[in-house]
Structure 1
Amino acid sequence: MTSFPLSRRALLTGAAGLGAAALAGCDRTAAMLGEGGVLRAADTHPDGYPTVEAVRSIAARLKEQTDGRLNVRLYTGGQLGEEKDTLELAIFGGLDFNRVNLAPLNSIAPETLVPALPFLFRDESHMRAAMDGTPGHTILEALRPHGLIGLCFYDSGARSFYTSSREITKPADLKGLKIRVQNSDLYVAMIEALGGDATPMAYGEVYQGLMQGVVDGAENNWPSYESSRHFEAAGTYSLTRHVMAPEVLLVSGRSWAKLSEDDRTLIRQSAKESVPLMRTLWDQRTNDAKTRLAEAGVTVIEPDFRAFSEKVQPVWDKFLATPHLRKLAEDMVAISG
């Protein structure tokens, strides 16, 4: 499976649903499924990224198991826009597979907020056990009423702060700093609770924002910090590990409705089998990123995360506003891993 150029404008027009002709085009795309048509998949990460390679493994298995009847064409590196754009495409049926972060889903399904709660998971093993188990299944099912079929979760590592102006060793160090966050109310609330100035910004704009001083820092995992070259502008990495929210692989509900039950089963099984591969690649990429960043002279700080976790209780109280969400969080905390 390879990446192909495609008119983002053409697809976004269909996804927006601003006319009968556009929606009809989306429906025609979905109708091709199982009839020799091509399934479209999008990922904002570049070629070679663990999530991209995981979806490629799904494509290979689908092609093999259906003798070429199901083929997947993958658009990587944000060819179809930011994740909010590809999410619209998937909901309206102009895109079949979509790998996205949980943040763009927060306003669609509140359950997706829970894994992004700061300091929810003890470590990576705990996160993986929770997302593979009943709590993760609950979140995937919560997407179905919104035109999205959740297949599986992929790792996104532990997010930590990186800055250009000062080391972050305690929450007070964030005071007065403009910190880039995803366009998520939860992330904004978290930064504000820690004393920083939350600045929502598209991922593709962060490098320039750091270089120009529009923001003083950002927060992300090791591989993204390295591959984006954000370390060139913000060379201090403080290992707060404040969020370990995973990413999710989705199928458009409109596309799903066109598939046979056998094809659905095959897709689910292929997605499940892609998770161990993704995690192996992720662990390798994380270690490689750490090595390259050390060679680049990045300063790594090991703050006491407990001082940060004590500050974010108001975030939990605000976003666990219903018994259902609080129970989901409690179930995740209780998972052994």
Structure 2
Amino acid sequence: MLKKVISISMLMIGILSFSGCSNKTEGNTYIDMIENKNTSVKTLFLAESQAPEYPTTKGDYEFARLVKEKTDGRINIQVVTNSELGSEKDTIAQTRMGAIDFTRVSATPLSNYSKIMTVLSLPYLYRDEDHLWAVLSSDIGQRAFNDIEKVGLVGLTYYDSGARSFYNNKKEIKSVADLSGLRIRVQESDLMKSLVTSLGATPTAMDPAAVIQALAVGQIDGAENNVATYVSSSQYNVAKYYTFDEHSRVPDILVASKTVLEGLSKEDQEIIKQAAIESSDFQRKEWKANEDTMYKKMEDAGVKITKLDQAAKEEFKTAVKPVYDKFGADFTDLIKQIEATK
């Protein structure tokens, strides 16, 4: 326990230093992390980058509720939202150390630890949403979990994060040629940079919080993301062209620290794993309901919504062959297995 408190204290100091000791960061979250005075209740912490009302965060809360219910209150999971414990990259590192107990992250930053996670993130890999979930629920999804466990992370379940598509403030995008020359914001990811480059646009890595201002002042022409983020971040007010090319269906993953999990009883480990799986069903329903709401807001705001037919999507997939050559060359059999999954 002392080791855990020291690790969390070091994390707190690092975050306070990074944030300039803002009033928000000096709140009760970190005090609670250190001062767990009720010894009959084990408090664990789950790091979440999204806001409390985001559908993914609602999945976290459901996971926490189920664990508390199934353990008769012996285990209390506190969800810490809005990246208060750091970026996804940071929380992954801290979860590996055991300083954070759980984190919900995209598969993209996990690619730094697992090439299989990179394969799951390849563009235009999945035919549709049903195909994605068929793959993740197969032995392929478990194989990816087995891969990250080698570095101290236990994959508990997959969450829905929708499909990422392109949007911009210049023109309607109906073909690959329409992307030519546009400056597109991407995540700090070599794969995403390669994707945008292969489509003839210029990738610009940028923190998510800076995107709306960059669009407004013309620093970038567009970006790519799911409709939930596009609308909830108000980017739909400054980038009025949204094309459903659905180039990426990158799953979110609820991850536990292997060190922390192995410190629990076998019974509690199983409870946590089962609660995570059950929370995934809940989260996916929340995601779908939120997506429908966001789509309606796009229509009401006058966004030009473009849906590509299958022929246009094939053109895009053909254009990103260099991405497969670079990131999937060692996994051709796995890619074929994914494509063949029904």
Equivalence for 1:246? 251
CA distance in structure 2 between the aligned counterparts of 1:35 and 1:244, rounded to whole angstroms: 42
Check whether the contact 2:41–2:74 (CA below 8 A) recurs between aligned residues.
yes
Equivalence for 1:208? 213
Deviations 1:103-161 (A, max 9, x none): 11111111101121111000000001111111111111110011111011111111110
SS in 1 for 2:91: helix
CA distance in structure 2 between the aligned counterparts of 1:233 and 1:307, rounded to whole angstroms: 28
Equivalence for 2:95? 90
Equivalence for 2:24? none
Equivalence for 1:313? 321
Check whether the contact 1:96–1:255 (CA below 8 A) recurs between aligned residues.
yes
Equivalence for 2:50? 45
- 1:95-110 equivalent positions in 2, closer than 5 A: 95-110=100-115
| Residue 223 of structure 1, aligned match among 212, 225, 228 | 228
CA distance in structure 1 between the aligned counterparts of 2:211 and 2:117, rounded to whole angstroms: 24
Equivalence for 1:10? 12
Equivalence for 2:162? 157
Equivalence for 1:191? 196
Check whether the contact 2:262–2:269 (CA below 8 A) recurs between aligned residues.
no
SS in 2 for 1:143: helix
- Structure 1 portions without partners, runs of 5+: 1-5, 17-24
- 1:230-269 equivalent positions in 2, closer than 5 A: 230-269=235-274
- Structure 2 portions without partners, runs of 5+: 1-7, 19-29
Check whether the contact 1:11–1:89 (CA below 8 A) recurs between aligned residues.
no
| Residue 122 of structure 2, aligned match among 97, 100, 117 | 117
Check whether the contact 1:106–1:184 (CA below 8 A) recurs between aligned residues.
no
Deviation at 1:190, TM superposition (A): 0.6
Deviations 1:191-244 (A, max 9, x none): 111111111112122112212222111001111111111111111101111111
SS in 1 for 2:320: helix
User: Structure 1 counterpart of 2:214, which letter?
Assistant: G
1:328 aligns with 2:334: yes
RMSD: 2.4
Deviation at 1:168, TM superposition (A): 1.4
Deviation at 1:254, TM superposition (A): 2.0
Equivalence for 1:3? none
CA distance in structure 2 between the aligned counterparts of 1:162 and 1:13, rounded to whole angstroms: 33
1:65 aligns with 2:65: no
TM-score (norm 2): 0.87
TM-score (norm 1): 0.88
Equivalence for 1:177? 182
Equivalence for 1:167? 172
Deviation at 1:48, TM superposition (A): 2.1
User: Structure 2 counterpart of 1:140, which letter?
Assistant: F
Equivalence for 2:293? 288
Check whether the contact 1:111–1:142 (CA below 8 A) recurs between aligned residues.
yes
CA distance in structure 2 between the aligned counterparts of 1:119 and 1:103, rounded to whole angstroms: 15
| Residue 36 of structure 1, aligned match among 33, 41, 46 | 41
User: Structure 1 counterpart of 2:316, which letter?
Assistant: F
SS in 1 for 2:150: helix
CA distance in structure 2 between the aligned counterparts of 1:178 and 1:35, rounded to whole angstroms: 55
User: Structure 1 counterpart of 2:126, which letter?
Assistant: F
